[in-house]
Each structure stands twice: as structure tokens, then as C-alpha cells.
Amino acid sequence: MRVSLTELTTLSPKMKKAVCGLILFDVVAKLAAWHFLYHLPADRIRGKKRNWVLATVLTVSGSPWFLIRGIKR
């Protein structure tokens, strides 16, 4: 889904903050997930690292899901 710049400028200030917060959350979650995927050995991760990388790149929910369920404790 593509959103044009004019659609973003017509949002209310409250909605702009919500969109910026969601984008910030997504970026921080992706960076944290990629850090753990790079530094943890494969036996500490549930499933294949390659699959988790794809899930974090392609979806918004992949990064939080990896951080919650993808790392073996």
C-alpha cells in the first residue's frame, strides 16, 4: 500500500504523532532483532536465522515476534 505525501500532510497532528511513533517503534524493533540475529549462535534461536531475517524485513510484526518468541532463554 502506497501513501502519497499529500495524504500524510492532511493528517491531524495527533495522527502524525501516531504514525511517527509506529515508524520509530518499527525501526528500533528491527535494529534490535537484527542485532540479536547477528550476534547469537544459531542454537539459541528458534527456527532458521534466514527465516527470521525475512520475517523482520517483510513485516512490521516480525521483529517484535522474534524478540518475544524467537530467542531461546
Quick check: is 30 in a domain?
Answer: yes
* Cβ neighbours of residue 54 closer than 8 Å, sequence gap 6 or more: 62
pTM equals 0.81
pLDDT in tens, 11-66: 899 998 998 999 999 999 999 999 999 999 999 999 999 999 999 999 989 999 99
- For the chain, list the strands marked E by DSSP: none
Domain tally for the chain? 1
Residue 12 lies in a domain: no
3 within domain boundaries: no
Range of the domain at 54: 26-73
CA atoms of 5 and 11, how far apart (whole Å): 10
Identify whether 34 is part of a domain: yes
Write down the pLDDT at residue 61.
92
Q: Which amino acid is at 42?
A: A
The answer to whether residue 16 is domain-embedded is no
d(CA 60, CA 25): 9
Do residues 40 and 13 make contact, with C-beta atoms less than 8 angstroms apart?
Answer: no
